[in-house]
Amino acid sequence: MLEIRNLCKYFGGIKAVDGASFEVERGSITALIGPNGAGKTTAFNCISRTLVPTSGEVWLDGQQIDHLRPHKITAKGLSRTFQISRNLADMTVIENVIVQSRVEGFSGLFRPAISPQEKDKALGILDFLGITRIAYEDGHNLSYGQKKLMDLAALLMSDPKIILLDEPAGGVNPSLMEEIVGHIRALNAKGLTVLIVEHNMDLIMRLSHKVVVMAQGRVICQGTPDIVRKDPAVLEAYLGGVLDAEAA
């Protein structure tokens, strides 16, 4: 479904992503992992065109998308979250979910701020995520974990075919982490394809169908969690030769 071909992103002499290539199969949960500074988030930013790649290609459903603007990529069915929530603090949760998800042009200026259809859809998504109770809470009143769930809700409003999740469980308590894992599995069971960056190796190894490992901007291994866990190059990339949550 998603194909990354020889992706490069250079910042002067720094090769943040250096010829990375991998595929995300339709209907899969694929994890992108690696030590700090491996280039994972930079690759995410290039795929979603938050950053313009230095070179390489990104293909979605047989169409090249690396030349498109971010909102056009979203319209093609690819949406992503960020490590740090981009919520608008003075807006309510439901307003954030709707406003952040819109993919439209100049014509959007001539319609109501929030339509009844958008409100109903947003409330349905919040209900699925179990956070209807905070629908009308201001963004600045939310906990870190609630912001993570709100970001996921906004992502789903655009009806994506594939979602890119950048550390969706990072910094949350174990209980909420399991809740987020459950949501990801439920969305995947409904046919949504997932590409995830996450440092919690226990979570990744039990959640993912496929794991892609980056180090120094390059893909050094890809395969099932069992294959990746035993690969010598992967063990070497993670200091101490041990692939676990602490080493990650």
Distance CA 37, CA 127 (A): 37
Domains of the chain listed by start with CATH number:
2-85+160-241 (3.40.50.300)
Q: In sequence order, which residues have a C-beta less than 8 Å from that of residue 21 and are 6 or more positions away?
A: 4, 5, 6, 7, 219
Backbone angles phi, psi at 28, to 5 degrees: -95, 165
Residue 40 token pair:
């994972």
Q: What is the pLDDT of residue 214?
A: 94
**pLDDT (tens place) for every residue of the chain, 248 residues total:** 999 999 999 999 999 999 999 999 999 999 999 988 899 999 999 999 999 999 999 999 999 999 999 989 999 999 999 877 777 778 899 998 988 765 554 444 445 567 888 899 999 999 999 999 999 999 888 888 899 999 999 999 989 999 999 998 888 888 999 999 999 999 999 999 999 998 888 889 999 999 999 999 999 999 999 999 889 989 888 744 445 544 43
Q: What is the pLDDT of residue 84?
A: 77
Start-to-end CA distance of the chain, whole Å, equals 28
Q: Do residues 151 and 86 lie in contact, with contact meaning Cβ atoms separated by under 8 Å?
A: yes
CA distances from 7 to 50, 56, 197, 208 (A): 14, 4, 17, 23
Q: What is the pLDDT of residue 65?
A: 97
